[in-house]
Chain A
Amino acid sequence: MTKPVLRVQDLAVTFTSFTGGLLQRRERQLRAVDGISFELHPGETLGVVGESGSGKSTLARAILGLITPDRGRVMWRGEELTGLGEEELRQKRKELQIVFQDPVASLDPRMTAGDIISEPLWTFYPNMARLQVEERTRGMMKVVGLLPNQINRYPHELSGGQCQRIGIARSLVLNPRLLVCDEPVSALDVSIQAQIINLLQDLQKKLGLALIFIAHDLSVVRHISDRVMVMYMGQAMEVSEKSSLYQRPLHPYTNALMKSVSIPDPRLAAAARQDRWLTGDMPSPYDRPKGCIFHNRCPYRVKRCEADVPALRRMENRDWVACHRAEELDLSI
């Protein structure tokens, strides 16, 4: 078994804000990420799925050091990232990269495609010959499926899918070892999503990248993931192998998510509709349920769930789940 290249231990990020009027300022804590732990091996893809408010984007940024966590450690190739000084962390950016959700907003509108993709090159190799930079940029464009003759185009002249390819090219130009994709296809049309997912999968195979793919839809991560982590209100509900998760999820929330996915088949969709049981909204993050964080929406809850927080524990088949009743429930789809 190869050693994990990324190890996240009990990572937590809390945002503090103030409420109340002039006289009664109270501090409010928002636990965006509340104790996440996992490991990632080279060449492996971890899919992270959660809805808005689950903390998945915050997690992505905390792993890369774009946000400072309050608690926990991130170990990259044996070295601890959390606690590194600003300059040392900056140097690590060559190996750790991110692709953002909004393809157009993540590109500087005043820069051409070529400028955007080559920026990391100038930053870390300021003495690199211009011709060499250009060559590498064009090469990168070809690799992500863009015509190199678009090198002088501006983001507003290109489609969403093309802009996202520029974002991917930019993140790969320095040959990183870890790529975190924060909902890279959510802002794209369904027909383009497939292209980008295929591209990422392809690139991962060829470059041996460790990949973290974040999405809000279980069906989207399925193709590309080896393992999937399901997040809810900052906590991990389940971390399972793809093969087991999609057949028999271990956590009720995973089951609910799977049932919410739209099926492009009218008859199956009508049947699936009867099957959906999740109601209500996610509770306010300032008003977190005690005990198991999902218990107030869970049809399988028992007394224990209201008071005891279930720890993320390992099951027989080596998947992890945070549920008191995991052994007895059969949540097969």
Chain B
Amino acid sequence: MFSWSTHAGARARRVGAAFLVAAIAALLAACGSGTQDKSDNGSSNGGGGGPKVTLTLKSITDAKVAWEPLIAAYKRVAPNVTIDASYAPTDQLQTALRAQLGTGNAPDLFVDWPGNGSAMSVQQLAPSGLIADISDQGWTKQVPDGVKPLLGANGKTYMWSPGATPIGIIYNKQVFKQVGIAEEPKTWSELLADAQKIKAAGKIPFAVGNQTPWVTQLLPYAIAPSTAFAVDPNLAQDMLDGEKSFTNSDWHTVYDRYIELYKRGLFNKSPNGTTYEQTQQLLGSGKAAMVVQVIAAMPPFLSAAKNKDDIGTFPFPAADSADALKIPAGVDAGIAASAKGKHLAEAKKFIEWLGRPENMASFSKATYSIPLVGADPAKTDPLLKPFAPFMASNKTVPFMDQQWPNAKVQPAHFAGVQDLVAGKTDVGALLKKLDEAYQQK
């Protein structure tokens, strides 16, 4: 029926083989052409002040609105440099970038997180030699001393960040008005009294979306500066030095106050079953009065409100007296350059340009943060103004995870707070779990 020894068969095989080879060659050429195009783009196209370069940049979706005008502006400054930017949610980027760094395929510029505490934070990456040292750039000299260590490791700077953003209360002014609260609370007892008033009026005092893991940390972070860090302002370093721990410090007050709010019925019915997105709806619709949030997360809350002017902010009054109040303010996610990137010099130049006060201001305005360099109080967004005096007078504490020694404490914190609310654990057991995670490598 079919013989391999016939001439026709042999010819057919030869023709088939020739087609196969041609197809594979075409396929390889097609696969290769993308890379080739890209490298051609990067090295030979266009005019400008130097050889054409394409820098790849990967950042978080929330920052797209801030990057786009700056990238367009940089094209005017350096016409020979094209920045090929792409954006993705935080989780996806943390996944992809670490894998790319591991295999030597990282983009020239990529999002990086300050301090320690996550697998993509600067102090986790710097020791590997995969991100470039930018300590010699002029703008780094103007970064406040309290913040500078968070942008690098071992006294060197490895990342750029546009500014710092506080955690505070985003509230619905209409609900406050309906309930009869004329002025925002300034102390813990005033906060409790106002929250009771809101509850008595049939509204939810605090919308808490603990089903979204990162939201679980915000309330403890809001309470800690005026409690645990008021007792020991050097607590973060003392913990790193092994002199203090979660158990052996005033951290218990943080969770005692957290659970007090919950047990008084001041949260929505099921915090663990409610998402971050649902808290936006609860606040915007006026069902809830307040949300404790990072102020940089403002845009969706404004979108969910019937009227943007109904939304206001004020610092979370966790202290017993207004003068003693301190607030959490964290350095924003920024950008680092791949030390093994093909265009490292150009990438560093772009970062140096980003360090100019006007560029810091442009980025910060879009992300509701206060610039690290050259902040102008007159230009501060009204929603950030209640926090500006605290930042100016150094009454801030960095987000706690930025000073934790590994990427394991934060997820243990997320799960611990959910368990605390679910009644599966108590404050003592939670602190013990956090200490266990803290001790891990």
The judgment on whether A and B are partners is: no
List residues of chain A with CB under 8 Å of any chain B CB.
Answer: none
Taking Cβ atoms with an 8 Å cutoff, the residues of B that contact A are none
